[in-house]
Amino acid sequence: MRIVHVNLERTWRGGERQVVYLMEGLARLGHECHLVARKNGLLAGRAREKGIPVLEVRKPFVARGFVLGGFDVVHAHETRALQMAALWKGWNTSPVVFTRRVDNPPSTNPVTRLVYGKIDRMAVISRRVGEVMASWGFDPGRTRVIPSSVHPLGDPDDATVSGLRRRFDGRKVVGCIAALEKRKDHATLLRAASVVSSLRDDVVFVLVGDGDMRAELEAEARALRLANVVFEGYRDDLAPYYRVFDVFLLTSRQEGLGSSILDAMACGVPVVATRAGGIPEIVHDGETGLLVDVGDAEGVARAVLRMLHDERLRRGCIDAGRRMVREGYTVEAMAKSYHDLYAELVQGA
């Protein structure tokens, strides 16, 4: 099949990584995949590095929808892409697939209802996202749960890992890799770090990522007089960080699934996370990690300290997490699920 994937995001985050993983996996299954991406966006460059054919488009994106003609399937991966695919469907009659990665409902205005009405199949990355969309009014019969995948990060450079360990001066490292945005709720993480600092002086919290909340969060860290928090900013190479993390922490208020959690599990890092969105579908409390209520900073601190202290728990979560990722969250499994979804649409046309 000839499939055109559309993602018009400016940034390079988890959803964009998943698009590239999927296109690579589909190519190995024999599909011809093309990408429509924002002009000069990070995704276009990353995709080209992988040998993926890319067509870059400028605003107004909806006016560029003619580029979607001639494909067996149009697969939109975010809202602007969906708008383009939906509003050109009268001209381009190929089935439209949309992947929904967030656990908050769309708007209920008539235009949004019209756009979502053009979707032939919606893939959701967790059961929770599917439940949210069903409550919103999207037909569950046209929804398929296809989780995010994990791609091996590779072996990090030993000198880089050693340099990080020296920087953190032998302390236990609690790491978080996430965009600094409101839904990730780093404010709760900072309050938890304050609790931990009052009990132990050998733990450092390392925040990898950037975003529009950075200045506010740095100000909050100063107000709390936190000497145990490091803002690393955006980093392209994440493998060295996973190597030095003793615990991976995600305190999100909203989360479709949590691909960074899957990465941590694949790298053998035990996880502490909140009961947000689809996270409980991969973090099973006491088995593949520890779960804490959203916004509960003291609970987060207790869970982090427990994970650092209880070696039997750590080992069990590491082993179970690795096994879960290996058995159900590979790129191959994700690509096969989308292959089946496309075939269902094309053969039924």
Q: Does a cis peptide bond (omega within 30 degrees of 0) precede residue 53?
A: no
Model pLDDT, residue 169: 87
Which residue has tokens 């132990």? 200
pLDDT at 155 over 90: no
Closest CA to 12 of 78, 57, 65: 78
**pLDDT tens-digit map of 109-139:** 999 999 999 999 999 999 999 999 999 999 9
DSSP state, residue 94: S
Contacts of 45 (CB under 8 A, 6+ apart): none
Model pLDDT, residue 130: 98
Which residue has tokens 């749960």? 145
- Residue 37 Cα distances to 109, 151, 314, 331, angstroms: 26, 22, 41, 21
Give the separation between CA 56 and CA 68, rounded to whole angstroms.
12
294 HSE (CA, 13 A, CB side): 13
Model pLDDT, residue 329: 96
> Which two tokens mark 182?
């409101």
More confident residue, 299 or 62: 299
> Which two tokens mark 283?
């973090």
Give the separation between CA 317 and CA 101, rounded to whole angstroms.
25
Model pLDDT, residue 229: 97
Residue 92 pLDDT level (bands cut at 50, 70, 90): confident
Strand-pair category, 271-274 with 290-292: parallel
Model pLDDT, residue 349: 57
Q: Taking all residues of the chain, what is their mean pLDDT, rounded to a whole number?
A: 95
Share above pLDDT 70 across residues of the chain, in percent, rounded to a whole number: 100
pLDDT at 200 over 60: yes
> Which two tokens mark 24?
């690579």
Determine the average pLDDT of the residues in 326-333.
Answer: 95
| Contact between residue 256 and residue 103 where contact means Cβ atoms under 8 Å apart | yes
Give the separation between CA 226 and CA 171, rounded to whole angstroms.
15
**pLDDT tens-digit map of 20-76:** 999 999 999 999 999 999 999 999 999 999 999 999 999 999 899 999 999 999 999
Domains of the chain: 2-149+330-348 (3.40.50.2000), 158-328 (3.40.50.2000)
Model pLDDT, residue 157: 84
**pLDDT tens-digit map of 204-254:** 999 999 999 999 999 999 999 999 999 999 998 899 999 999 999 999 999
Determine the average pLDDT of the residues in 330-341.
Answer: 97
Beta strands in the chain (DSSP E): 2-7, 32-38, 54-57, 73-76, 96-100, 121-124, 143-145, 172-177, 203-208, 229-233, 247-250, 271-274, 290-292
